[in-house]
Structure 1
């Protein structure tokens, strides 16, 4: 399944505005995905678990009405998500005012209320980078989230934490560019096999200094086991989970719609 990169803006509490010609979605680095079983009974999992049989009851066939029932209609708001090149995709923000529970649903291009989820996103509130968060909110610590994988990965996990959860080093892009910090391969580790290649993580520097990062900056792929000590101190500031089973046909017409971001309000603070 081709993925949207969608690494940028945060949820906007608005619905889509005037349509413009769609830009070509940027390819998102990921491993090959495997089918999810939509019909097999789900094993019990803890609340706020990011897994194929978790998501607090969400599945690849969940509709907006299902989401409203699962989380309460008062906690489900229209939103949008940054695609790239100045365009955003319509989305739904769940618990938009509670960073401990908040996440975003990006939908396939299907008529609501029957549209199916394309992917789920857990992110830092109202910022693309830690520098923006630190400057606009005075933040010095990572906001905590109740959402986590069964392996313990969540927004705020360090490279060292994630490497331990994966059971081995993994590959990621260098920081400080458009695709900076994205995991490119779990190297067949636990986070690949346990999630069928559907879990994506993006790393960046925390708000406090971690030392020289120039050795793993720029358009190149690095190992999480890089000798520079600062590598292990990078933090996960975005998690995404693909919701499309590979057996479901997907063509360009079903890819999430795109609209100019400037037609949408400034992202709402958590």
Structure 2
């Protein structure tokens, strides 16, 4: 009787349980993937924010927006400098006339606006004239004098042509300097500062275009050096800290204009091919003369020069 009552209660609560009808089989559908077209790669700006650039046109319009018919702010004259700014608008390649470039957001003086960057250079168009490539020991290397600052130099050569340099000072010690045209075999200089980025005290010359008024330059052969000096020269032996250091002009013509140690330093280096015996005859911490046959045999040439800048 109790069991029967339980069945009635269950039916009252849950209802009469009916048998399930047979379900129709489901039809499986193969999933399809929607292939999205690849998005266009973002166009990178030709110049990074902060870089200084120079106008390479008779005049260049500074406009209020990145389009040809945007309002004119003013014209910028040739060789004048602008500074690239960060822009919220993505750069778009375009062609004006036969020039291809982008609109670049820049600052010129107190004004900000857009210029067509096909007429910009990272160095002034008149750079050769500004540099002049002449070294005067004790006074200057091109435009670098004791009054030239890092900021002045950046304006002359373009900041992208400057880099931090580590100058070896012996005993595994280094001093920070500034490399100008780093890695350029024809133009590279390294500035050693008396006051960092404010006053130069010496310029290490590695580029072949720089020449002293006396005609010395990187790559000058020993025979030419002796000819310019009008006398033999003396130099330190190789394979030690001061290898190839020119120790004396031997009372030659360079004695007054290229005073060693006080205004000028030069190093010589051999150039292959040469016989090992000739090279081995010029080793060590001692002084050798350019008159030695071995000095000519190892094809010595000027490998480095340093010009001191007077305070």
TM-score normalised per structure 1: 0.59
Q: Which has the higher contact order (CA 8 A, sep 6+)?
A: 1
Question: Does the aligned pair in 2 maintain the 1:192–1:199 contact within 8 Å?
Answer: no
Of the structure 1 ranges 204-213 and 82-91, higher mean CA displacement relative to structure 2 is found in 204-213
1:229 CA displacement: 5.2
Of the structure 1 ranges 205-214 and 77-86, higher mean CA displacement relative to structure 2 is found in 205-214
Q: How many residues align?
A: 179
Give CA deviations for 1:177-225 in whole Å, capped at 9, x if unaligned. 2211101111232222113441211112114326612222211111212
The structure whose residues are more often strand, as a share, is: 2
- Name which one, 1 or 2, has greater alpha-carbon Rg: 2
Q: In the alignment, which residue of structure 2 is the partner of 1:213?
A: 279
Distance of 1:45 and 1:215 partners within structure 2? 44
Q: In the alignment, which residue of structure 2 is the partner of 1:263?
A: none
Q: In the alignment, which residue of structure 2 is the partner of 1:48?
A: 133
Q: Relative to 1, partners in 2 of residues 1:113 and 1:213: Cα closer, same or farther, differing over 3 Å?
A: closer
Provide the aligned C-alpha RMSD in A: 2.5
**1:216 aligned counterpart, secondary structure:** coil
Q: In the alignment, which residue of structure 1 is the partner of 2:303?
A: 237
Distance of 1:152 and 1:231 partners within structure 2? 23
Give CA deviations for 1:88-119 in whole Å, capped at 9, x if unaligned. 110000011422111100112x3x443x1121
Structure 2 alignment gaps of length 5 or more: 1-128
Give 1:62's match in structure 2, choosing from 132, 148, 162. 148
Question: Does the aligned pair in 1 maintain the 2:140–2:307 contact within 8 Å?
Answer: no
Distance of 2:189 and 2:156 partners within structure 1? 13
Q: Relative to 1, partners in 2 of residues 1:210 and 1:118: Cα closer, same or farther, differing over 3 Å?
A: farther
TM-score normalised per structure 2: 0.52
Residue pairs, 1:123-142, within 5 angstroms: 123=206
Q: In the alignment, which residue of structure 2 is the partner of 1:172?
A: 235
Structure 1 alignment gaps of length 5 or more: 1-43, 124-143, 246-270
Distance of 2:140 and 2:201 partners within structure 1? 16
Task: List, as ranges, runs of 4+ consecutive aligned residues in structure 1 with deviation greater than 3 Å.
Answer: 229-232
Distance of 2:191 and 2:136 partners within structure 1? 15
Distance of 1:207 and 1:122 partners within structure 2? 22
Q: Does 1:201 align with 2:266?
A: yes
Question: Does the aligned pair in 1 maintain the 2:289–2:295 contact within 8 Å?
Answer: no
Residue pairs, 1:22-101, within 5 angstroms: 47-52=132-137, 55-101=141-187
Q: In the alignment, which residue of structure 2 is the partner of 1:104?
A: 190
Q: Does 1:223 align with 2:289?
A: yes
